[in-house]
Chains A and B, each alone.
Chain A
Amino acid sequence: MDGLITFFASHYALRAETVLTRGGLSAKLIAGPRDLSPNCGVALRFEYARREHALALLDAQRVRIDGVHRFVPRTDGWRNTEAAEWRR
């Protein structure tokens, strides 16, 4: 899983895990990388290739996200691919 979604609060990370899993996508909670988010809790790994589907599912369930990131091996590590977005 080369994608990572960061959240403002762990509430949304936990909900996102449920929403993506119910939607048939792989998802795994991990400790949120400190350089990507000031949230002390968790972030969610997912398959970046399913990004649009994942974001549509989260949007439909009103799960707010902070940002979407992609792990690029052997170059510059995690890379933020999307500006932080405030979703209601």
Chain B
Amino acid sequence: MGTIYFDNAASSWPKPPEVPAAMAECLANAGGNPGRAGHRLSIAAARVVEQTRELLADLFNAGDPSRIVFTHNATHALNLALYGLLRPGDQVVTTSVEHNSVMRPLRHLETRGVEITVVACAPDGTLAVHEVRRALRPGTRLLVTTHASNVLGTVMPIGELAAAAHAAGALCLVDASQTAGALPIDLEQTGVDLLAFTGHKALLGPTGTGGLVIRAGLEVPPLMRGGTGSDSDREQQPEFHPDVHESGTLNVAGIAGLAAGVRFLRDVGIDAVAAHERALVADFRERAADIAGMTLYGPEDAARRCGVLSFNLAGASSSEVAQLLDDSFGIMARAGLHCAPSAHRTAGTFPNGTVRFAFGWFNTADEVRTAAAALGELASWAARKIAWTV
């Protein structure tokens, strides 16, 4: 039995071999603390960090690389943005398919007097921009939206949403956890003000990496304060980028791995990754349509999807299906609520959840065929189980 990994929405696997190689090389030869000294190993570490910043600025067409700040992950980046921007009395607009990395900080901020307006998406995750316009009002501080649902795979029209936010005088924060590295993102073209990304999913880097891109001219108060290697004669936090948001030693080896992942994607082309994942989703959905008792969630239109999809089999729980896929077929999927209870309420799959497949660049059409055949068998088993119990 082989290993088929369809859990790339949780963390991508495998990584290109260049990623662990770059991390080992960094630990061996760039072992200093970046920005803290002038010796060769410190400069080598700083070079790793700054080259990665430039790669990411190019990838997102973000302009000035200093506007990219490194964080531990997307959750950290989202917390930085939300706690930095929102004050008691502010209104924030969001969608009903957000991950808890957005929802939990917002619900906590709600207890501190921030007003939250959640715009309901259709059961397939589609967000109507006119509903968002209706929720925005003069004085709204922020619109925060996922770029693509981690449950349904639905891609949001972030350019239109940013324009709607700006028309109301609000800022636009996008959670690109599922899309950075999987779909093209152009910050200049879309006008998005803040973009939170993780390094260990479609960007193919290691866990413990991520960041927030903050549009030039927009100053966000820091989430943490501490040593930066700069302004060392002062006991106050520096106010300039990127140091204002980068207190404490960065995950340099992780960032080296992230750079290798981004370089790999630059060579492959993000458009090619997007087309590949879309083709796998379309192929899977076509095969799944022939399986009796299978319910597919998310939009039918492949153009409005990323490589994430959800389904259920009649007669079996999502966790049962995922366990059997792993035990009997070597297929790794994620079952349950995917840290996104609101998205499952939207899809009508709360509290039981769904089985999620999330394809990545290294998945193949053969693997999709194998998985569809496996699900055909599991569907027959589940149908017999239903027959026995009635």
B residues contacting the other copy or chain, number (CB 8 A): 30
Is the Cβ of A64 less than 8 Å from the Cβ of B38?
no
Within 8 Å of chain B (Cβ to Cβ): is A46? no
0/1 interface trace, chain B 171-192, chain A, CB 8 Å (1 if under): 0000000000000000000000
Q: Could you tell me the dominant secondary structure of chain A's interface residues?
A: mixed
Q: Could you tell me the dominant secondary structure of chain B's interface residues?
A: loop
Distance, CA A18 to CA B55, complexed state (A): 13
Could you say which of A7-15, A49-57, A72-80 contacts chain B? Answer: A7-15
Is the Cβ of A38 less than 8 Å from the Cβ of B38?
no
Residues of A near B43 (CB, < 8 A) are: 29, 42
Distance, CA A11 to CA B53, complexed state (A): 9
Within 8 Å of chain A (Cβ to Cβ): is B233? yes
Within 8 Å of chain B (Cβ to Cβ): is A25? no
Distance, CA A38 to CA B238, complexed state (A): 11
Within 8 Å of chain A (Cβ to Cβ): is B240? yes
- Nearest chain B CB to A31 CB, angstrom units: 2
Is the Cβ of B232 less than 8 Å from the Cβ of A39?
yes
The answer, among A9, A31, A43, A88, for a CB contact under 8 Å with B37, is A31
0/1 interface trace, chain B 230-255, chain A, CB 8 Å (1 if under): 11111000101111000000000000
Residues of B near A29 (CB, < 8 A) are: 38, 43
Within 8 Å of chain A (Cβ to Cβ): is B34? yes
Contact A14:B47 (CB < 8 A) given known A31-B38, A39-B232, A42-B38: yes
Within 8 Å of chain B (Cβ to Cβ): is A30? yes
Distance, CA A30 to CA B243, complexed state (A): 20
Listed A/B pairs (26) with beta-carbon separation below 8 Å: A8-B243, A9-B242, A10-B34, A10-B46, A10-B50, A10-B229, A11-B53, A11-B66, A11-B243, A12-B66, A14-B50, A15-B50, A15-B66, A30-B38, A31-B37, A39-B230, A40-B36, A40-B232, A41-B34, A41-B35, A41-B42, A41-B229, A42-B35, A42-B38, A62-B66, A64-B66
Q: Report, nearest first, the 10 A-B pairs whose CB atoms are least far apart.
A: A31-B38, A10-B35, A38-B233, A14-B50, A9-B230, A41-B35, A40-B229, A9-B243, A39-B230, A42-B38
Given contacts A40-B229, A88-B216, 18 further A-B contacts (CB under 8 A): A8-B231, A9-B229, A10-B46, A10-B230, A11-B35, A11-B49, A11-B65, A11-B66, A14-B46, A14-B50, A15-B54, A15-B65, A29-B38, A30-B38, A38-B230, A41-B35, A41-B36, A41-B46
Residues on A lying within 8 angstroms of B by beta carbon are 8-15, 18, 29-32, 38-43, 62, 64, 88
Residues on B lying within 8 angstroms of A by beta carbon are 34-39, 42-43, 46-47, 49-50, 53-54, 64-66, 216, 228-234, 238, 240-243
